[in-house]
């Protein structure tokens, strides 16, 4: 495995400690970068064995990943060396030789159709291009964040202004509501309709109670012998003391909601129109 001095790679280091080096290495055929044109292939097996092919000549070695110092130890019949994962992406896995600024570069053979550096200069250009794209993406994300922050501030300021205008509009409504409602023909018609509804409900309620009372009195008269004036007095007393107040209460409940609903609609419409005009600058 050939290594190269590559001082600038420290700027591009991108190997997360959360990544599983064993998963990255195994079940792949790694082409070892060199500038001599030789074909060197490393195949890491999950059982710790390593197959090395150099121009088709195969040798067997072993490998071990040591989590304690995050290092990869490769042992052949001639020597052993320790490497530290330094950079990994979809194309390349860079390993730094322990205690040096020398790096080995392994390229996933399945990606060679997209990425086949033939010189250290091409490899350097690859990392520089990656760094430029990373910086551009960071700047883009930063710009998006700035724009989103600016937009939030604008919305917050707009909401604060709307709340302020809403308070002013409510004060204006309270000062001018009588004049506004008196001149509102639609509101006057709805009020008249509400009053008619109130009295109609009242009359219907009284009529219904009279009917019920009449039935009860007739039924009572069949059970007991009572003079005619007794029926009249009983009917009047019952209707006056119980029936009439009940009718008033029922009518008020029915119409109160309608009155309040119509009033609230006019108030809300006035406030919304006031805010809209102010926002338009009128």
Q: How confident is the model at residue 233 (pLDDT cuts 50, 70, 90)?
A: very low
pLDDT in tens, 19-64: 677 888 998 899 999 888 889 999 999 999 999 999 999 999 999 9
**Residue 240, token pair as written in the block:** 């006056």
How many domains does the structure of the chain reveal?
2
Share of the chain above pLDDT 90, in %: 26
Residue 249, pLDDT score: 58
Beta strand extents in the chain (DSSP E only): 4-5, 29-32, 40-44, 49-54, 57-66, 71-75, 80-88, 92-97, 102-108
Residue ending a domain, among 101, 117, 133, is 117
pLDDT in tens, 160-207: 988 998 899 889 888 888 787 777 666 666 655 555 455 556 555 665
- Does one domain contain both 236 and 162? yes
- Does one domain contain both 206 and 260? yes
pLDDT in tens, 96-105: 999 888 999 9
Average pLDDT (198-227) is 57
Q: Which residue has the higher pLDDT, 239 or 68?
A: 68
Residue 123 lies in a domain: no
- 250 to 115, 150, 262: CA distances (angstroms): 86, 56, 19
Ramachandran sector of residue 179 (left: φ over 0; alpha: ψ -120 to 50; beta: rest): alpha
pLDDT greater than 60 at residue 1: yes
pLDDT in tens, 68-102: 888 999 999 889 999 998 888 888 899 999 988 89
Average pLDDT (130-156) is 92
- Does one domain contain both 171 and 256? yes
- Does one domain contain both 11 and 85? yes
CA–CA separation, 58 vs 74, rounded Å?
16
Q: How confident is the model at residue 277 (pLDDT cuts 50, 70, 90)?
A: confident
Q: Can you state the percent helix, strand and coil of the chain, rounding each to 5?
A: 60, 20, 20
CATH, residue 12: 2.40.128.370
- 232 to 163, 229, 239: CA distances (angstroms): 63, 5, 11
Q: What φ, ψ does residue 145 adopt, rounded to 5°? A: -65, -45
Residue 260, pLDDT score: 55
CA–CA separation, 174 vs 132, rounded Å?
63
Residue 144 lies in a domain: no
CA–CA separation, 141 vs 127, rounded Å?
21
CA–CA separation, 94 vs 84, rounded Å?
9
Q: Which domain holds residue 20?
A: 4-117
Average pLDDT (267-281) is 83
């Amino acid at each position: 495995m050939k290594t190269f001095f590559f001082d600038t790679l420290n700027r591009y280091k991108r190997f997360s400690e959360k990544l599983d080096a064993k998963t990255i290495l195994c079940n792949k055929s790694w082409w070892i970068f060199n500038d001599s044109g030789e074909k060197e292939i490393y195949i890491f097996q999950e059982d710790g064995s390593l197959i090395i092919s150099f121009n088709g000549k195969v040798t067997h070695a072993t490998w071990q990943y040591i989590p304690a110092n995050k290092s990869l130890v490769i042992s052949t019949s001639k020597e052993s060396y320790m490497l530290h994962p330094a950079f990994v992406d979809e194309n390349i896995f860079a390993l730094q030789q322990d205690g040096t600024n020398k790096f080995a570069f392994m390229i996933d053979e399945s990606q060679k159709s997209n990425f086949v550096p033939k010189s250290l200069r091409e490899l350097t250009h690859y990392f520089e291009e990656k760094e430029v794209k990373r910086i551009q993406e960071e700047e883009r994300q930063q710009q998006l964040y700035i724009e989103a922050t600016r937009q939030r501030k604008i919305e917050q300021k707009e909401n604060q202004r709307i709340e302020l205008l809403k308070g002013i509009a409510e004060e204006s409504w309270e000062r001018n509501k009588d004049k506004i409602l008196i001149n509102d023909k639609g509101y006057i018609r709805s009020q008249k309709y509400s009053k008619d509804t109130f009295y109609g409900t009242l009359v219907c309620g009284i009529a219904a109670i009279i009917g019920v009372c009449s039935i009860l009195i007739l039924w009572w008269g069949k059970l007991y012998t009572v003079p005619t004036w007794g029926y009249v007095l009983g009917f009047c007393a019952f209707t006056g003391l119980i029936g009439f107040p009940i009718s008033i209460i029922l009518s008020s409940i029915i119409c109160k909601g309608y009155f309040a609903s119509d009033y609230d609609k006019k108030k809300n419409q006035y406030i919304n129109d006031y805010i809209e005009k102010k926002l338009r600058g009128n």
